[in-house]
Amino acid sequence: MRTAAASLAERFGYRRVDTPVLAATVRDGRSGAIVRAYFAGGLEGPPAPARLYYLEPIARPDRDTWQFGVEVIGVSSSDIDAEVIELGWRWFEALSIAGITLQVASPPALMSSLRTCALAFSHSEEAKLSFTYTLDGSIVLAAGDRHDGLAADLGFPPAPAVGFAIDMNKTADALRQQRPTQPSSPDVYAIAVEESSRSYMHRLVAGLRQRGYRVIFDANRNSLESRLDSARRSGARVAVVAGAVLESRGQAIVRDLSERADVTVFEAELAEGVRQVFARAHHHSD
């Protein structure tokens, strides 16, 4: 989610700004913290407006959450308003979250710009811009508005501003419900048969990880068959097994967990033995 937010904001020409995490607990909120950063950082000069985004944890009295938000400061324009609203919409679109609706309250000048962006929205006519992104008609995931008077309220020169804030925790809940995810499967499941061979297996595992393989080192002490069952349930394609006898020879067993085929290799050949299992799997899938 953070990667999608940063990528999208930067494609729109926004640059990241970081502010004190606790700033959102004071009366002026995150928008106020961004306005303070705008003046403290000397961003009011050209080019105008300043397009800023943030990705930050927010401390709340009742809970902690992450927010993705943007602020455009320095220009009042329906084109800028439309850009901000579109950016928020495109983020939910990039995450493929179903059931998002956009409600916009504003004067008619903004409507043609939003239609040009091909956004679906409901509209009510109000003097001051505000907008919300709602899930399934009831859960507000994000909200934004134009707050042209905020800078002056904080003791700074007047500066028009518009922005939104997205509750990333609520959005993550929506993603989990719509697309439940399983933990990513390892490539290799490593089993030391005896306690005395665990150090040897740690060395083998380190070498495989340096080659880029995702490896789980089995920490159980139960039977070998039970641990091989755990390897299969983990989703790994390969199990690497070694005990005291194999260690004395500088060898290990590479087991193809799909075909239940074993090959014994020397330590220097271990990565190649693992690679060949994956190469066979790729060939069979073709």
Q: For the segment 124-183, what is each residue's pLDDT rounded down to a tens digit? A: 999 899 999 999 999 999 999 999 999 999 999 999 999 999 999 999 999 999 987 767
- Provide the pLDDT for residue 282: 65
Domain membership flag for residue 275: yes
In this structure, the number of other CB atoms found within 10 A of the CB of residue 24 comes to: 22
What range does the domain containing 62 cover?
2-178
Helix or strand or coil: residue 30?
A: helix
- Provide the pLDDT for residue 119: 87
pLDDT tens sequence across 190-246: 999 999 999 999 999 999 999 999 999 998 989 999 999 999 999 999 999 999 999
Do 20 and 158 fall into the same domain?
yes
Query: Which CA distances in Å does 80 have to 84, 104, 113, 128, 254?
Result: 6, 14, 10, 14, 59
CB 72 within 8 A of CB 48: no
Share of residues in the chain with pLDDT > 70 (%): 94
In this structure, the number of other CB atoms found within 10 A of the CB of residue 53 comes to: 22
Query: What's the number of CA atoms in the CB half-sphere (13 Å) around residue 35?
Result: 25
Length of the chain: 286
Domain membership flag for residue 82: yes
pLDDT tens sequence across 102-123: 999 998 889 988 988 888 899 9
Domain membership flag for residue 193: yes
Strands 122-124 and 100-105: parallel
* Average pLDDT estimate for 31-60: 88
Domain membership flag for residue 183: no
Q: Which amino acid is at 214?
A: R
* Average pLDDT estimate for 75-95: 95
DSSP output for 200-240: HHHHHHHHHHHTT--EEEP---S-HHHHHHHHHHHT-SEEE
Q: Rounded to an integer, what distance in angstroms lies between the CA atom of residue 33 and that of residue 24?
A: 7
- Provide the pLDDT for residue 173: 94
Do 12 and 39 fall into the same domain?
yes
Residue 261 has pLDDT above 70, yes or no: yes
Do 194 and 150 fall into the same domain?
no
Residue 250 has pLDDT above 60, yes or no: yes
Strands 15-16 and 50-59: parallel
- Provide the pLDDT for residue 46: 79
Q: What CATH number did the domain enclosing 234 receive?
A: 3.40.50.800
Q: Rounded to an integer, what distance in angstroms lies between the CA atom of residue 167 and that of residue 67?
A: 5
Tell me how many domains the chain contains.
Answer: 2
Do 144 and 259 fall into the same domain?
no
Do 194 and 109 fall into the same domain?
no
**Arithmetic mean of pLDDT over the chain:** 91
Residue 284 has pLDDT above 90, yes or no: no
- Provide the pLDDT for residue 25: 47
Which of 159, 178, 197 represents a domain boundary (last residue)? 178
Strands 139-146 and 161-167: antiparallel
Q: Rounded to an integer, what distance in angstroms lies between the CA atom of residue 249 and that of residue 204?
A: 14
- Provide the pLDDT for residue 29: 76
Do 274 and 211 fall into the same domain?
yes
Kindly give, in sequence order, each residue whose CB lies less than 8 Å from that of residue 148, ignoring residues fewer than 6 positions away: 76, 158, 159, 160, 161
Do 93 and 130 fall into the same domain?
yes
- Quick check: bond before 49 cis, omega within 30? yes
Residue 286 has pLDDT above 70, yes or no: no
Q: Rounded to an integer, what distance in angstroms lies between the CA atom of residue 167 and that of residue 91?
A: 12
Q: What CATH number did the domain enclosing 116 receive?
A: 3.30.930.10
